[in-house]
A = this chain, B = another copy of it.
Amino acid sequence: MDSIERLTKKIVKFRNDRDWKQFHNPKDLALSLVLESIEVLEHFQWKNGIDLENYVNKNKDSISEELADVLYWVLLMSHDLDINIDKALENKLKLNNKKYPVEKSKGSAKKYNEL
């Protein structure tokens, strides 16, 4: 089975086993997504340059855990809203391909509306 499908099944089972669906509405799911993303970013607060690199190397396990939490909510929210997230990302890449054509955006950090 496909990884996204397989992980989604495990996550939904985890929730169903605990009867937590009753607490889950899109707004609070999205808030959970934000809170877990912030925990990824929080790792890097007050760290820059070489300190940042060293920190990342030493704390990869802990950063992995936070990233996994973000993926957890992406997959659960996609499931609940009946979104095919695999296809949604494929579509987004096609859109970004048009917004950022290679010849215009190569090596440039500009936003698409500044290109």
Residues of chain A whose beta carbon lies under 8 Å from any beta carbon of chain B: 2-5, 7, 10-11, 14, 17-20, 22-23, 25-28, 30-38, 40-49, 52, 56, 60, 63-65, 67-72, 74, 77-78, 81-83, 85-86, 88-93, 95-97, 100, 102, 105-109
Contacts and interface: CB of A to CB of B under 8 A. Distances in A.
Contacts of A52: 25-27
A102 B19 CA distance: 9
Tally of this chain's copies: 4
A106 B100 CA distance: 40
A107 B81 CA distance: 22
Contacts of A95: 65
Contacts of A37: 30, 33-34, 36-37, 70
Given A4-B4, A100-B18, A107-B19, A81 B63 contact: yes
Which of the listed residues A10, A40, A93 has the most CB atoms from chain B within 10 Å of its own CB? Answer: A40
